[in-house]
Amino acid sequence: MAATKTSSGFRYYMHEGPESISFELAGSLSGEAGRELERAKRSVTSDRSLTFDLTYVTEVDTAAQKLLRCWHDDGAQLVAKSPQARAIVAAITGKGSEFIETTALHLTWLPFRVPWLGAIMLMMSFLIAPATAASLKPETIQVWDEYVKAAVGRNDQRVCPGSVFLSAEEATGEPAKLRSGEIVVAPAGPNVPMKVPSGLIHDWMGAVFIPGATLPDVLRVVRDYERYRDIYHPYVAGSRPIAVTEKEDRYSVLMMNKSVIAKVALDGDYRSVYTRLDDRHWYSITKATRIQEVSDYGTPSQHSLPASEGTGLMWRLFSMTRFEERDGGVYVEIEVIVLSRDVPAALSWLIDPIVRRISRSSLVTSLQQTRDAVRLSTAGISRSSSRPIPSSPVRSFR
């Protein structure tokens, strides 16, 4: 471990492990130093968690504050062990200094020292809130319904004739990133997860470009519910179609929580409505019509709990997906909105970044698996479902 000195005299130490990466920062962090740090971060990060220790940082300019806030919103952990650093982190995150972490979890080094301890600490911090039973409250449902209604309104604006169909088009350079093979995932707003009465709303956007594919290729895969277990392994343990028509699909999916602590599965029914705007533009809206927790999944005491009861890992799910064929392939852009139980306020500083990281990683994995399945299908390797894309009334988009 060696110190790296930037042109401004700012120094950082990078500690790299198989599960996480930690940067220990020192000196005055300017926008220029932040950009150099960003380059270092990009050179080593993948799905590993990030920690930035600001204990020895003396000041942070506006540009660097914005950069650190983005990293924090994306799930990075900010650590401050001195009063000055705590004030800096409080200004960046908008949290009171009493909620600023004063010691690093050191997940970077734990895998080397005690391989199982780092993983258990991570899972315990994520599962400590849902460890006890919770029930969905009427006031939580009301806020959820209002939030989903607003999201549908935004989607309606996008699919109107003359509108920008993909939100990725409004971000400079994002279409080029997608065409280069990058999967772009980000929270839909600045405060995700959003705290609501007795619950949390998780709202994430993701996009992927599938080169060489056509809309029928993509829709054939995403509507092949019998193969979800193979496509989205290992998180989907089972799936089956219930009723499939030209415009509306109903199906069930059994999702697994892979934690070694809480053996919980989520058994749900879903309804997806597909709308064809023209030959190159489709969109779908999916809603979970039933979600039940299966407690002690895979054990002799396995049993289903009543709907809206249990640990509250996921009470509601709603998603909107837009498909556009152009540039020699298909763009797939999805917004996934999930309602879960809340977490204690005293633990939110720890759990929120972890939840963000897990949410991001889950969506990236799902989009990657979709792209891989479409590529296999178009290559003729896997065509277990070959039903044609259903016809439906065409509504002019452009």
Which pLDDT belongs to residue 347? 61
Indicate the range of 15-24, 317-326, 329-338 predicted with least confidence. Answer: 15-24
> Which comes out higher in pLDDT, residue 222 or 69?
222
> Which comes out higher in pLDDT, residue 234 or 115?
234
Please determine, for residue 216, whether its predicted confidence score (pLDDT) is greater than 50.
Answer: yes
Please determine, for residue 253, whether its predicted confidence score (pLDDT) is greater than 70.
Answer: yes
Which pLDDT belongs to residue 42? 75
Q: Is there a contact between 292 and 305 (Cβ–Cβ < 8 Å)?
A: yes
Which pLDDT belongs to residue 354? 66
Q: Is there a contact between 123 and 260 (Cβ–Cβ < 8 Å)?
A: yes
> Which comes out higher in pLDDT, residue 39 or 161?
161
Strand partners of residue 16: 21
Q: Is there a contact between 269 and 290 (Cβ–Cβ < 8 Å)?
A: yes
Q: Is there a contact between 73 and 187 (Cβ–Cβ < 8 Å)?
A: yes
pLDDT tens-digit map of 260-274: 345 678 899 999 999
Which pLDDT belongs to residue 221? 95
Task: Determine whether 243 is exposed, middle or buried from the number of CB atoms within 10 Å of its CB (0-12, 13-18, 19+).
Answer: exposed
What contacts 236, CB < 8 A, 6 or more positions away? 228, 229, 253, 254, 255, 256
Indicate the range of 85-99, 113-127, 167-181, 231-245 predicted with least confidence. Answer: 113-127
d(CA 250, CA 287): 10
* pLDDT tier, 98 (very low <50, low <70, confident <90, very high otherwise): very low
The average pLDDT across 322-331 equals 96
Roughly what angle, to the nearest 10 degrees, separates helices 62-73 and 83-93? 70
Give the tokens for residue 262: 């809480």
The gap from C-alpha 119 to its chain's centroid, in whole angstroms, comes to: 20
For all residues of the chain together, what is the average pLDDT?
78
Please determine, for residue 282, whether its predicted confidence score (pLDDT) is greater than 90.
Answer: yes
Of 126, 67, 62, 65, nearest in space to 90 by CA:
65
d(CA 59, CA 261): 41
Tell me if the pTM is above 0.85.
no
The average pLDDT across 241-266 equals 80
Name the range with the highest mean pLDDT among 248-257, 282-291, 333-342.
282-291
Of 245, 335, 337, nearest in space to 284 by CA:
335
Q: List Cα–Cα distances, 391 to 283, 285, 325, 396, in angstroms.
A: 14, 17, 17, 15
Please determine, for residue 204, whether its predicted confidence score (pLDDT) is greater than 70.
Answer: yes
Task: Determine whether 63 is exposed, middle or buried from the number of CB atoms within 10 Å of its CB (0-12, 13-18, 19+).
Answer: middle
Please determine, for residue 350, whether its predicted confidence score (pLDDT) is greater than 90.
Answer: no
d(CA 204, CA 337): 7
Task: Please state whether the peptide bond connecting residue 115 to the residue before it is cis, i.e. omega within 30 degrees of 0.
Answer: no
d(CA 293, CA 313): 9
Q: Is there a contact between 122 and 354 (Cβ–Cβ < 8 Å)?
A: yes
Q: Mind spelling out the 3-state secondary structure of the chain?
A: CCEEECCCCCEEEEEECCCEEEEEEEEEECHHHHHHHHHHHHHHCCCCEEEEEEEEEEEECHHHHHHHHHHHHCCCEEECCCHHHHHHHHHHHCCCHHHCECCCCCCCCHHHHCHHHHHHHHHHHHHCHHHCCEECCHHHHHHHHHHHHHHHHHHHHHCCCCCCCCHHHHCCCHHHHHHCCCCEEEECCCCCCEEECCEEEEEEEEEEEEECCCHHHHHHHHCCHHHHHHHCCCCEEEEEEEEECCCEEEEEEEEECCCCCCCEEEEEEEEEEEEEEECCEEEEEEEEEEEEEEECCCCCCCEECCCCEECCCCCEEEEEEEEEEECCEEEEEEEEEEEECCCCHHHHHHHHHHHHHHHHHHHHHHHHHHHHHHHHHHCCCCCCCCCCCCCCCCCCCC
